[in-house]
Structure 1
Amino acid sequence: MDFNSLISFVSSNKVSILSGLALAVTTGALLKGKGKKQHTFEPGVVYLYDFPKGGFPVIHISPFVLKVSLFLRLNNIPFKVINNFDMGPRNKKPWIRLDEDVVSDSDIIIQYLIKKLNIKGFEINDPDQAAEAHMLRRFIDDAAVWSLVYSRWVDPMNCSTNIEAVFASVPFPMSVLVKRFSLSGTSKQLYSVGISRYERDEIYERAAKDIDALARRLGDKPYLLGNEIALVDVSLFSVLAQFAFEIIQSPAGAALKTHRNLVDYVQRIGEAHFKSNELDFSRSYPSPRQ
Structure 2
Amino acid sequence: MYNMATTVIDRLTEFAPYIGGAVVLGVGVVVIRQMRKTLASKRGIHPIDMVVLHQFDRAHFAPNLSHFAVKVETYLRITKIPYVNSFSGLNGAPKGKVPWIEYNEETIPDSSFIIEFLNHKFSIDLNKDLTAEQRAAARALQKMVEENTYWCHILLRWAFHVEEMMRSYLSAPSWFINRYILWRYRRYMMNKGWVQGIGRHTYDEITHIAKGDLKALSDFLGAKNFFFGDDATEVDCAIFGQLSQIKWHTPDCEAKTYFFDECSNLDEYCDRMKAKYWPDWEECTTRGGTTKATK
Same fold (TM over 0.5): yes
Q: Is the 8 A contact 2:57 2:64 kept in 1?
A: no
Q: Does 1:128 align with 2:133?
A: yes
Q: Does 1:198 align with 2:204?
A: no
Q: Percent identity?
A: 21
Aligned positions of 1:51-70 closer than 5 A: 51-54=56-59, 56-70=60-74
Q: Is the 8 A contact 1:243 1:253 kept in 2?
A: yes
Within 2, Cα distance between the matches of 1:230 and 1:104? 21
Q: Residues 167 and 8 of structure 1: is their aligned pair in 2 closer, same or farther, counting only changes over 3 Å?
A: farther
3-state SS of paired residue (1:97): strand
The one-letter amino acid of 1:51's match is: F
Correspondence for 1:241 among 238, 241, 244: 244
Within 1, Cα distance between the matches of 2:15 and 2:239? 55
Within 2, Cα distance between the matches of 1:122 and 1:66? 19
- Structure 1 residue 246, shift from structure 2 partner: 2.3
* 1:78 match: 82
Q: Does 1:266 align with 2:232?
A: no
Q: Residues 247 and 28 of structure 1: is their aligned pair in 2 closer, same or farther, counting only changes over 3 Å?
A: farther
Within 1, Cα distance between the matches of 2:159 and 2:163? 9
The one-letter amino acid of 1:190's match is: G
3-state SS of paired residue (1:81): strand
Q: Which moved further from structure 2: 86-95 or 128-137?
A: 86-95
5+ residue gaps, structure 1: 170-174, 283-290
- Structure 1 residue 223, shift from structure 2 partner: 0.9
3-state SS of paired residue (2:255): helix
The one-letter amino acid of 1:265's match is: Y
3-state SS of paired residue (1:277): helix
Aligned positions of 1:99-118 closer than 5 A: 99-118=104-123
Q: Residues 100 and 164 of structure 1: is their aligned pair in 2 closer, same or farther, counting only changes over 3 Å?
A: farther
* 1:226 match: 229
* 2:283 match: 277
Q: Is the 8 A contact 2:157 2:251 kept in 1?
A: no
- Structure 1 residue 70, shift from structure 2 partner: 0.3
3-state SS of paired residue (2:284): coil
Given the two structures, how large is their TM-score scaled by the length of structure 2? Answer: 0.80
Aligned positions of 1:19-38 closer than 5 A: 21-22=24-25, 25-26=28-29, 28-36=31-39, 38=42
Q: Is the 8 A contact 1:53 1:166 kept in 2?
A: no
- Structure 1 residue 26, shift from structure 2 partner: 3.4
5+ residue gaps, structure 2: 173-177, 289-295
- Structure 1 residue 66, shift from structure 2 partner: 0.7
Q: Is the 8 A contact 1:163 1:179 kept in 2?
A: no
Aligned positions of 1:139-158 closer than 5 A: 139-155=144-160, 158=161
3-state SS of paired residue (2:54): strand
Within 2, Cα distance between the matches of 1:227 and 1:254? 28
Q: Is the 8 A contact 1:57 1:245 kept in 2?
A: yes
Q: Residues 184 and 168 of structure 1: is their aligned pair in 2 closer, same or farther, counting only changes over 3 Å?
A: farther
The one-letter amino acid of 1:187's match is: M
Correspondence for 2:14 among 8, 19, 37: 8
Within 2, Cα distance between the matches of 1:31 and 1:166? 31
Residues 38-67 of structure 1 show CA distances to partners (whole Å, capped at 9, x for unaligned) of 32221111111112444x311111111110
Q: Is the 8 A contact 1:152 1:159 kept in 2?
A: yes
Count, aligned residues? 271
- Structure 1 residue 228, shift from structure 2 partner: 1.3
Residues 202-239 of structure 1 show CA distances to partners (whole Å, capped at 9, x for unaligned) of 11111111111110110001111111111111111110
Q: Residues 79 and 152 of structure 1: is their aligned pair in 2 closer, same or farther, counting only changes over 3 Å?
A: same
Q: Residues 178 and 106 of structure 1: is their aligned pair in 2 closer, same or farther, counting only changes over 3 Å?
A: farther
- Bigger radius of gyration: 2
Within 2, Cα distance between the matches of 1:27 and 1:206? 42
Q: Residues 21 and 191 of structure 1: is their aligned pair in 2 closer, same or farther, counting only changes over 3 Å?
A: farther
Within 2, Cα distance between the matches of 1:179 and 1:99? 40
The one-letter amino acid of 1:45's match is: M
